[in-house]
Structure 1
Amino acid sequence: MIKTIIFDLGAVLIDWNPHYLYKTIFADEAERNAFLNTVCTPDWNEEQDGGRSLQEATDLLLTQFPEHETAIRAYYGRWTEMLGGPIQGTVDIFSALKATGQYKFYALTNWSAETFPIALAQFDFLSWFDGILVSGAEKDRKPFASFYNTLLDRFDIDRSTALFIDDNYRNILAAEAIGIQSIHFISPDDLRSRLADFGVMLEKRL
């Protein structure tokens, strides 16, 4: 029986996408994609998730790509414009699960320690968690097993009765490799169906 549910945040509960910002900087889609694939790349961003400071990250790119100074500085200078709001369907599921009183809830997120306080202030549902582990604060991140194990150890979670939800299949495989049952998040409707497969009910059991 599942007793603990572990959520990823970005693209599961929170709609975050750099394109929301960079559509206002690069009108041409090809130019925008080229910038995000070669300058402010996902791999570069993950280093901030792993604990690198925003200043160090920005300075690194300014040295490598001085011609893109304005766009590079916008990544963190206008970071809030990448937040699209809550993914309401998933928030509704979370709310229903919380109301049953039958589960513990934790968040395991790859997120910069410097930008996470912005999300905390903006999204009330983050206060529903029994604990949150932020990669940037821990200087560790998914998909490394050590990050998952830190969550399990810190909050005394039994991996055999835990369920992990993440949109990144790489992170799902990593969780399953250390014995945590997992759901690859695709959409709120799919999640609702998959939860039922694991015996997780959105209404309190009688």
Structure 2
Amino acid sequence: MTNEIRHIVFDIGRVLIHYDPQIPFSRLIPDEAERAWLFANVCTHDWNLEQDRGRAWEEAEGLLIRDFPRHEDNIRAFRKYWHEMVSHAYEDTVAIMAALVAEGRDVTMLTNFAADTFKQARQLFPFLELPRGVTVSGEIGLIKPDIAIYHKHARDFSLDPAHTLFIDDSERNVEGARAAGWNAVLFTGAEKLKSDLLAHGIG
């Protein structure tokens, strides 16, 4: 029997809102091979993750432009067209979260997100204001799955880890939450999330 869940923590990207850097770049770089090379060698996942850890975009762009001056326009395009990458909300998941809040459940969010793009996301997606609060990696210099970010979120929001359920689309982040003593489920879609919530006594 699992512990009673008193706190529900949502990830944001690819759980509540869609995120895909290919969206603007498929227009900017129509050639698929050229686009794949850029993401594999220049605007890489690891490079972008450092903005989630708190590095300023100006510094991030400068580092790449120094090494890849011919690609300056595309490097700057990553931040310039970021709003296109978050093309829509997952309305069915948002509806689940909103219903939990309306029921009086304790809902917070924990996300790997650059500080400035999260401010923009809040303007684009007002439902991000519904939960009690959020921990944004880029604002605190910690990123999932570092166990320290889960501990900080639990402290800041007075969560009891054993009574907390975390929802994330990354297996590594789910495992990080479990290592911090939380219950956690891997998000693959709204229907699976409903069944996972029911399995934890939330329905």
Cα deviation, residue 85, structure 1: 1.3
- 2:166 matched to which residue of 1? 164
Q: Secondary structure at the match of 1:108?
A: strand
**Structure 2 counterpart of 1:104, from 103, 106, 121:** 106
Q: Secondary structure at the match of 2:116?
A: coil
Q: Secondary structure at the match of 1:60?
A: helix
Cα deviation, residue 6, structure 1: 0.3
What code does the residue aligned with 1:83 have?
V
- 1:70 matched to which residue of 2? 73
- 2:196 matched to which residue of 1? 194
CA RMSD of aligned residues (A): 0.9
Per-residue CA shift, 1:109-161, capped at 9, x if unaligned?
10011111101111111111101010111011111111111100011100111
Per-residue CA shift, 1:90-115, capped at 9, x if unaligned?
011112222222x1011101001111
Which stretches of structure 1, 4 residues or more, deviate above 4 A after TM superposition? Answer: none
What code does the residue aligned with 1:184 have?
L
- 1:38 matched to which residue of 2? 41
- 1:204 matched to which residue of 2? none
Residue 88 (structure 1) aligned with residue 91 (structure 2): yes
Instruction: Give, in whole Å, the separation in 1 of the partners of 2:191 and 2:27.
Output: 31
What code does the residue aligned with 1:34 have?
W
Q: Which runs of 5+ in 1 are unaligned?
A: 202-206
What code does the residue aligned with 2:189 have?
S
Instruction: Give, in whole Å, the separation in 2 of the partners of 1:79 and 1:178.
Output: 32
Matched residues, percent identical? 40
Cα deviation, residue 168, structure 1: 0.7
Instruction: Give, in whole Å, the separation in 1 of the partners of 2:165 and 2:201.
Output: 11
- In the superposition, the TM-score normalised over structure 2's length comes to 0.96
- 1:145 matched to which residue of 2? 147
- 2:180 matched to which residue of 1? 178
Q: When the two structures are aligned, how many residues end up with a matched partner?
A: 200
Q: Which runs of 5+ in 2 are unaligned?
A: none
- In the superposition, the TM-score normalised over structure 1's length comes to 0.94
